[in-house]
Amino acid sequence: MQLKARFAMLVWFLAAMTFAGAIGIPKGFNVTTLLIFLCSFFVSFLQPTTFSVDRGDKLLVWTFFAFGVSLIAASLYDHWQVKGLDKPSRFLLVIPVVFLLLRSKGPKEWMWYGIVVGSLLAFAHALYERVILGVARARGGEHPIMFGDTGMMLGLLSLAAAIYFFSQKRFNWLICSLFGGLAGMGASVLSGSRGGWVAVPLIGLFLLWECRDLLGKKRLMAVFSVAIFCIVTAVLVPQTGIQKRVGEAVSNIMQYSDGSKTATSVGLRFDMWKSAIYMFQQAPVFGVGESQVQPIKRVLAAEGKISAKAVPFDHAHNEYLQALSTRGIIGLFFLLAMYLVPLKLFLRKLRQHKDNWRIRSYAIGGALIPMCYMDFALTQTMFMHNIGVMMFAFPIAYFWAALRWAERDELAKLELKN
């Protein structure tokens, strides 16, 4: 029994370390997710009598399975593009991890510590690259956009951690979590990635709304006021670079509109989106396949419809348009299902447990992941990158299992009282 308990602790430690080493330690997430997957081979070693798979567990697993298989089928349909099987397979490999965590009763709250540490390490790494190394955009061994978006997600998850620690009256870790929230967002700012910034006001409002009863009206207004002050200050202070990046975006849009300059950061995105829409029109049901993206873009460039500088990019810098252009309406359906099914499952738990913050905190954290990705997807194809797949699929599995264990713990307490 003691050996099983230690094994369960190891599993949750690896889950926490996935967040802690996500981007603060270059490629750190690869090691922890691989180890926790290998641990799933010993899932039969953990079989508590209380374990039972419910409808939500099955729905999440089947969603991972369906999306992974749809991506694999699309790659094989696309002239047997075997090289495209790598990232889709991750959505299948996370399935045994779901069952492993559902059978591993351990310190699930370690995840909150991992998230806060991960945010602080991400900011420290970004600061080191910008100040010491003098690079223009922090990247931590990843593409700057992926680094920035992941940092933003860690920052927002740190705010969910702050809600958890506040509900448990653990004020030292509450303060650490708030610093973690600022650190994660700071890492995003230092990366210069604008796409993730949209998530701050939208998800911030979601967090405030969900914890309005926990905070009370006075605290809620105080938090809202401080948040607005921090956002306005970050925008107005030139050293953050936000003003410059937003100004560049506005200038790029104006230049693209009047045709004076199209090969800008935003202009190239517009051309990628335009070509993606064209591809969708050519094959609306199944898409043209990833192998046809650049050949079609070369034709469009030759016809003067897009800039030649947009041709080398092998994706649309928009997850929705990428799915539509390469996998058609069917591909978009499976993509939306991968976002919306987990989101609906976590939001349903929020409605079921209106006053229990030991459960609600995990539901909020889990809901933030698809929310963030749905925002990031507007300006980046997250699932074309290994970190994008891993930091979506595995954290959703972690939060779902943590939530289910929190429910079981509360049920056990009620049974003891009765």
How far is residue 178's CA from residue 365's CA, in Å, rounded to a whole number?
A: 15
Closest CA to 372 of 346, 353, 351, 350: 346
How far is residue 262's CA from residue 79's CA, in Å, rounded to a whole number?
A: 33
The phi-psi region of residue 315 (left if phi > 0; otherwise alpha if psi is between -120 and 50; otherwise beta) is: beta
Q: CB-hemisphere CA count at 13 Å for 100? A: 26
Helix axis angle for 2-20 and 86-102, nearest 10°, is: 140
How far is residue 65's CA from residue 62's CA, in Å, rounded to a whole number?
A: 5
Each residue's pLDDT, cut to its tens digit, for the chain (418 residues) gives 587 888 889 999 999 999 999 999 988 899 999 999 999 988 766 655 456 788 999 999 999 999 999 999 998 888 766 666 788 899 999 999 999 999 988 999 999 999 999 999 999 999 999 999 989 888 888 989 999 999 999 999 999 999 999 999 999 999 999 999 999 999 999 998 877 788 888 898 999 999 988 888 888 888 888 888 877 777 776 766 676 666 666 777 677 676 655 667 778 888 899 999 999 999 999 999 888 898 999 999 888 888 888 888 888 889 999 999 999 999 999 999 999 999 999 999 999 998 899 999 999 999 999 999 999 999 899 999 999 999 999 999 999 999 999 999 888 777 777 6
How far is residue 63's CA from residue 42's CA, in Å, rounded to a whole number?
A: 23
Query: pTM for this one?
Result: 0.92
Helix axis angle for 110-127 and 386-417, nearest 10°, is: 150
